[in-house]
Amino acid sequence: MSELFLGVDGGQSGTTALIGDAQGNIAGWGSAGPCNHVAGAEAREKFLHAMRECLSHAAAQAGLPEPTGRGHFKAACLGMSGGPADKAALLHELVDAEHLTVTHDAAIALAGALGGEPGIVTIAGTGSMAFGRNARGETARAGGWGYVFGDEGGAFDIARQAVRAVLREQEGWGGRTALTPALLETAGVRDADELLHLLYTPAWPRARVAELARTADRIAEEGDPAALHLMQQAGQQLALLSGSVRRQLWGEGEAVTVSWTGGVFESARVLDRFRMLVSLQDGAVCEAPRHGPAEGALLLAYRAAGLDAVPARESSVRAIRAETRI
């Protein structure tokens, strides 16, 4: 078999591995659960299980002889949510590559969205952040501080704000909203108090809570003012993250391309608000993402080996991107 390359997107909601040949054709792909944390024995085992599962599936599709996924790659790039520092040693044990790069998920998201060119990508899945690189190779970020102190405009934050609206209605210091019956039905509970306590249980981890953002978006589409405000606010917060990165890396009025990735942007209300606010910035051009983060990781693997190949854009590849869906 010809030389093979590996790209991995390890996210808060799922992990995707892509194996490509030197021409950019996808030889195999695999997906598994989230792998963003390794602190503690249980989290470490979950991380290793997710990585082994997605690598094994991708290797089997590519026809690699070892079912564990430890095939030899010319180059591999793995982008990890939460950063690479606590995962690099484990990944060096799992992946055998002549050129092995372990980086953060924002770097592969930017590479995928803009095809390796300079610019800014705003990421909104379970969490949120913006990341940019200018023509001088300088980088900057905004956001990405986690669900306690940041992640504004991410799916978990949208869900949290929606639950708050329900609680305020019940206590009489918030207006009536169609979010209340919708969220209660989605969670299968009778009232806001039961909903709140349910969301604190292990049965509702952060990624599952984030899925309630889908319900909030549906209610916004039906015209509920409270839900519509939440989704438009998310779009505004994401545009602010992008603007912060731009000010750090580009001068006033200097041309910059801005893109986006992540399941929150499947909301027309969030995306429309985001694109409108970004486009108001002098010199900014908002462009739809060319590839997903997993393809971005594969592209960086090609670059590490000195190749100009670009991952194929077949619909089957796009369908399995490891992007958080709201």
**pLDDT higher at 120 or 31:** 120
Q: For residues 10 and 84, give the distance between their C-alpha atoms in angstroms, rounded to a whole number.
A: 10
pLDDT at residue 24 tops 60:
yes
Whole-number Cα distances in Å, 250 to 109, 131, 256? 20, 13, 8
How many residues does this entry show for the chain? Answer: 326
Whether the domain at 4-114+291-319 and the domain at 116-289 fall into the same CATH topology = yes
Domain spanning 116-289 has what CATH number?
A: 3.30.420.40
The amino acid occupying position 110 is L
Q: Among 81, 128, 126, which residue's Cα sits nearest to residue 260?
A: 128
Q: Among 164, 131, 324, 153, which residue's Cα sits nearest to residue 233?
A: 153
The residue ranges of every structural domain in the chain are 4-114+291-319, 116-289
Query: Who contacts 298 (Cβ-Cβ below 8 Å, separation ≥6)?
Result: 5, 6, 7, 18, 20, 77, 311
% residues pLDDT > 70 (the chain): 89
Q: E strands of 48-207, at which residues?
A: 72-80, 96-104, 119-124, 128-133, 139-143
pLDDT at residue 272 tops 60:
yes
Query: Who contacts 74 (Cβ-Cβ below 8 Å, separation ≥6)?
Result: 3, 4, 5, 22, 97, 98, 99, 305
pLDDT the model gives residue 71: 55
Q: What is the pLDDT of residues 209-262, one digit of tens each?
A: 999 999 999 999 999 999 999 999 999 999 999 999 999 999 988 999 999 998
pLDDT the model gives residue 276: 95
pLDDT the model gives residue 313: 62
Q: What is the pLDDT of residues 294-325, one digit of tens each?
A: 999 999 999 998 988 888 765 344 444 444 34
Is domain 4-114+291-319 given the CATH code 3.40.50.970 in the classification? no
* Mutual angle of helices 293-304 and 105-113, in 10-degree steps: 90
Q: Can you give the pTM of this predicted structure?
A: 0.83
Task: Determine the average pLDDT of the residues in 123-150.
Answer: 91
Q: How confident is the model at residue 40 (pLDDT cuts 50, 70, 90)?
A: low
pLDDT the model gives residue 210: 92
Q: How confident is the model at residue 62 (pLDDT cuts 50, 70, 90)?
A: confident
Q: What is the pLDDT of residues 171-205, one digit of tens each?
A: 888 889 999 999 999 999 999 989 999 999 999 98
pLDDT the model gives residue 299: 93
**pLDDT higher at 282 or 19:** 19
pLDDT the model gives residue 314: 52
